[in-house]
Amino acid sequence: LIIIPLLFKYGAISVGIFWCYKKDFMAINGFNENMLMAEDADFAKRLKEWGKRNNKKFGTIKNGMITSCRRFDTYGDWDLLKNPKVILAYIKGNDQKYADKTYYDNQER
């Protein structure tokens, strides 16, 4: 559910793990440290755009990575439908309240 609005904002990109040259990382000013959520999607979009403008390749490794799903394990997938403000928080990327709830308040594993 959270992916759909992020697709509209960032397009079809891969997130989570990145490999790039330091010079390209620096050229796009790295990660936006003002973002608390979806900063990897923002980074990927800017890196991909930088690559297009500079004739560089942007690709996706087909093997996936395993990420933490503790928020969904705790609240269930339908929590997003009950709390649409969380979706808006992901789109904005800088909502402290929802970032804390999503990533920091639920550290039990």
Per-residue pLDDT of the chain (109 residues; tens, 9 = 90+): 556 666 656 666 777 778 889 999 999 999 999 888 788 889 999 999 999 999 998 887 777 766 666 666 677 667 767 777 777 777 777 777 877 776 666 555 4
Number of structural domains (the chain) is 1
What are the start-end ranges of the E strands in the chain? none
Quote the distance between the C-alpha of residue 36 and its chain's center.
Answer: 9
pTM score of the predicted model: 0.63
Element (H, E) at 34: none
Distance between CA 9 and CA 86 in Å, rounded?
A: 15
Which structural domain range is residue 87 located in? 1-109
Q: Are 24 and 51 in contact (CB under 8 A)?
A: yes
User: Cα Rg for the chain, rounded, in angstroms?
Assistant: 15
